[in-house]
Amino acid sequence: MFTSFSTALSALNADSMAIDVVGNNLANLNTTGYKENVVDFHDLVAQSLGAGVSDTQGGLGVGRPTTLREFTQGSLQTTAGPLDAAIQGNGFFVVNSGGTTEYTRAGNFQIDKSGYLVTTTGDKVQGWNQTNGVLNTNAPAGDLQVPVGTVSAPVATQNLSFDMNLNAGASAGPPPDTFSTSVKVYDSLGQSHVATATFTKNATAGQWDYSISIPDSDVKSAFTPVTGSVTFDSTGRLVTPAATDASPQIPIKGLADGAADMTINWNLYNGTTPRITQFSQASAVSAVAQDGAEASQLVSVAIGDGGQVLAQYSSGQQQVVGQIAMATVRNPASLIAAGNNNYQVSGATAEPVVGIPGTGGRGNVVGGSLEASTVDIATEFTNLIVYQRAYQANSKVVTTVDQLSQDTIALKT
């Protein structure tokens, strides 16, 4: 009879711990990336009374419950944070917490004063940095650092293009009809120059003469315009120069600002498709393009889909400056919670494998989103009622055995 005290006490302890787990789940109802804990009860070895097949076995209560963290997918919530990221699928973000490698599903990141990408508690996010314009994801992952406050070097223009139509109904004159358009190009110092292309209708059917120039003030001596002609067939398709011919080149030498000499290719074709046509429509430009850029300041940093770290510069140029790493663990339930939304490996944890999101069975990273907690309030409240009733029932066992013991003692008096 007196073993019933310890049996009931084991149940009280187990139910109390289960209520603690429910309380912890509810406390983390709004914790980013939190995974619900569930309680697993197991009975203790029973005592046998008698011998043989028909033994009487009296239970010795319930053992200390174990908890199991369920790594199910949480819902993704779109946010306004440019550095927020969520994992869709398997995997963990890798962080450096005071020299210890830990893992997390919480992607509410920020930039610290040194430019490192960190969690809200200051742990450094792991990944690959761009070095000398190269992003080597085959190297070991390290602390991600973005180029805060840096200036993007200018890029000299090497190619330009005009997507346009020249009016097939234009007159060769005299005076001949003309059409002009322009585009900004950049030298090695980032100084802009306006390149103007003027097209003049030639008396030869389907032919237009062109002249491309920049202002004389941009060079040390008067600029000599680049001239030539383009020819169209009876369907308005560009035939000369042909797609297989070398692109016309625009040499610019002796720049007044001291920049290096440059030679710009004028791309008349997009692959084999002409960018210039001659139809019976007003002469007009639909698009201009060039591949140069001025020097610019870093304006903002954001995390894009796939875990790319993107830098936005004042020139409008966007550049990939880093890549977030992701780790997969074959048995994530064996990870140990380390606080701050992080997990550590245990002795039972398989070796984490680090790689690029979306590869090797890893999930994808969704930028501008966060993963919500997997705690379901209705389920937790139901569990709370069940554990409370179990606690009350086992407390009755204690009071009942106490009454029986008092009755037994009273037999002597």
pLDDT in tens, 175-184: 999 999 999 9
Residue 404 has pLDDT above 70, yes or no: yes
Distances (CA, A) of 300 to 24, 110, 324, 370, 375: 37, 12, 17, 20, 34
Mean pLDDT throughout 213-230? 94
Q: Strands, E, within 342-403: which ranges? A: 342-344, 353-355, 364-367, 369-371
Instruction: For the chain, give every domain's residue range.
Output: 3-71+375-410, 76-151+298-371, 159-294
Residue 304 has pLDDT above 90, yes or no: yes
- Give whichever of 5-19, 97-111, 138-152, 294-308 has the largest mean pLDDT: 97-111
**What percentage of the chain reaches a pLDDT higher than 70?**
95
Rounded distance, CA 375 to CA 69, Å?
11
Residue 1: pLDDT band (50, 70, 90) is: low
Residue 205 has pLDDT above 80, yes or no: yes
Mean pLDDT throughout 188-201? 95
Q: Is the bond into 215 cis (omega within 30 degrees of 0)? A: no
Residue 46 has pLDDT above 80, yes or no: no
Rounded distance, CA 246 to CA 89, Å?
49
Residue 290 has pLDDT above 60, yes or no: yes
Rounded distance, CA 33 to CA 74, Å?
7
Residue 261 has pLDDT above 90, yes or no: yes
Mean pLDDT throughout 329-349? 94
Mean pLDDT throughout 232-253? 94
Residue 47 has pLDDT above 90, yes or no: no
Residue 297 is predicted with a pLDDT of 87
Residue 317 is predicted with a pLDDT of 80
Backbone angles phi, psi at 34, to 5 degrees: -70, 140
118 Cβ contact partners less than 8 Å away, ≥ 6 residues apart: 109, 110, 111, 112, 124, 125
Mean pLDDT throughout 375-403? 91
CA atoms within 13 Å, Cβ hemisphere of 14: 23
Residue 26 has pLDDT above 70, yes or no: yes
- Alpha helices (H) along 125-196: none
State the chain's mean pLDDT as an integer: 91
Residue 314: pLDDT band (50, 70, 90) is: confident
Q: Given 3.30.413.10, 2.130.10.10, 3.40.50.2000, 2.60.98.20, which CATH number is that of 159-294?
A: 2.60.98.20
Residue 344: pLDDT band (50, 70, 90) is: very high
Mean pLDDT throughout 294-317? 89
Distances (CA, A) of 412 to 2, 89, 99, 399: 18, 69, 68, 21
Residue 76: pLDDT band (50, 70, 90) is: very high
Q: Strands, E, within 248-406: which ranges? A: 249-252, 262-266, 269-270, 273-274, 276-277, 284-290, 296-303, 308-313, 318-324, 326-328, 336-339, 342-344, 353-355, 364-367, 369-371
Residue 192 is predicted with a pLDDT of 94
Mean pLDDT throughout 247-275? 95
Rounded distance, CA 127 to CA 124, Å?
10
Between 309 and 407, the higher pLDDT residue: 309
Residue 64 has pLDDT above 90, yes or no: no
Rounded distance, CA 7 to CA 61, Å?
4
Residue 238 has pLDDT above 80, yes or no: yes
Rounded distance, CA 129 to CA 149, Å?
16
Residue 55: pLDDT band (50, 70, 90) is: low
Rounded distance, CA 328 to CA 362, Å?
6
Distances (CA, A) of 258 to 120, 218, 253, 255: 47, 10, 10, 6
Residue 52 has pLDDT above 70, yes or no: no
Structural element, H or E, at residue 385: helix 377-410
